[in-house]
Structure 1
């Protein structure tokens, strides 16, 4: 039987754009996810400091079974335990916390901690993390990922921070497994009306077209 973690790893490789939704009211979050889904996005991250995160994740998983849903900014074991109860597909953190990594992985869930140096990357991987979030990516640049893959080619990376349609291709070409994308999608309006909704769809279609062209060679 294929493990849930292997399934999620392969999903994030096939659908490498993880749209990050931070501190949105539940209604806005669900509208944003609907627009992202319409535009071809199949991986989303809801940060753990969002309102009603547990019910929001449950609602997204019920409405969009082909989408993988992650929880971001997971900083403690207590927080991780709550999220495991709602069957989140993966978790992310801006830092390397070995206790959190081990707790999540022991429960058959993908953990993606944030790292900034090769030492942090290796420490996170050796603690059990399956993908390492390179954060903030705009300080590191795509060349860092390519250089890192020389001595550490076995560690999948997820650059996050400053990723948009202008540089997605260079990060993919550098070897990124997946990418955390936030500001490229206009999801943080106070309300998501028709105009905002259509703009999210448009940006999602633009970005997924770039990914598809890269994957097709």
Structure 2
């Protein structure tokens, strides 16, 4: 039976389809032509959710994009993907996030694209309809865990304490984001948490730099979330997309 949330989600996505202004092409825009040689390797898996989880753990990097406009989001995302990033999260605070996601999915079907800061089931449903392969939250939203259960969409809930990590995992999460890890004590806190939950894949999130990301990986992080380390605020303000591409290339290399 169709629920009110289902109906609203379908209506919203129908509106998005009508207002999408992206003419997608598999070719990269001309302003990304450069000498870097960072390329994504093909990912192979029978299951979509297993493929998503495997690539997150293989690449060790989830690029987190927050942009001020639709155009900025598209160009910054293109730069990061062309720099070798294979897993990209666009936050709900980005204007036109679902249209941006839909356009990127058409251009980069091989990439693992998702939506971050998802706080309710309505937004989760619209994100999935727009093509998201994973969803991420700063906290654990039980309704989203229940909604994606037995689906091919990976949900990465956020957790801060040992109790929250364990509860999220026992509720059905395949992987849990430790957030805000830098504010909680950084690498030392993450390391202590990981020792207690060696069986739970953990993502380190908040305050990561290119220099610190390797320390989290060495302490058992399945992946790290990089935001400003790739989408540098000054570079975003200047629309210096070649610089974003360069930082993405460095991040992709650090994750290997």
TM-score by length of 1: 0.90
- Distance in 2 (CA, whole Å) between partners of 1:27 and 1:55 is 11
- In the alignment, which residue of structure 1 is the partner of 2:52? 8
Equivalent pair of 1:32/1:187 in contact (CA under 8 Å): no
- In the alignment, which residue of structure 2 is the partner of 1:61? 105
Equivalent pair of 2:230/2:251 in contact (CA under 8 Å): no
- In the alignment, which residue of structure 2 is the partner of 1:34? 78
Shift of 1:107: 2.9
- Distance in 2 (CA, whole Å) between partners of 1:66 and 1:129 is 24
Question: CA offsets per residue over residues 31-89 of structure 1, 9 Å max, x none?
Answer: 11121122211111111232222221111111112210010011011111111212311
> How many pairs does the alignment contain?
209
Runs (4+) of structure 1 exceeding 6 A deviation are none
Equivalent residue runs for 1:52-201 within 5 Å: 52-140=96-184, 141-188=186-233, 189-190=236-237, 192=239, 196-201=240-245
Question: CA offsets per residue over residues 79-109 of structure 1, 9 Å max, x none?
Answer: 1111121231100001112112221234321
Equivalent pair of 2:194/2:202 in contact (CA under 8 Å): no
Change (3 A) 1:77 1:186: closer
Structure 2 spans left out of the alignment, 5+ residues: 1-44
Structure 1 spans left out of the alignment, 5+ residues: 213-217
Shift of 1:187: 4.9
Shift of 1:24: 3.3
Equivalent pair of 1:16/1:43 in contact (CA under 8 Å): no
Task: Give 2:90's match in structure 1, choosing from 46, 71, 76.
Answer: 46
Structure number, greater radius of gyration: 2
Equivalent pair of 2:65/2:231 in contact (CA under 8 Å): no
- Distance in 1 (CA, whole Å) between partners of 2:244 and 2:149 is 33
RMSD: 1.6
2:197 is paired with a residue whose SS is: coil
Equivalent pair of 2:73/2:94 in contact (CA under 8 Å): no
Range 155-164 or range 23-32, more displaced:
23-32
TM-score by length of 2: 0.77
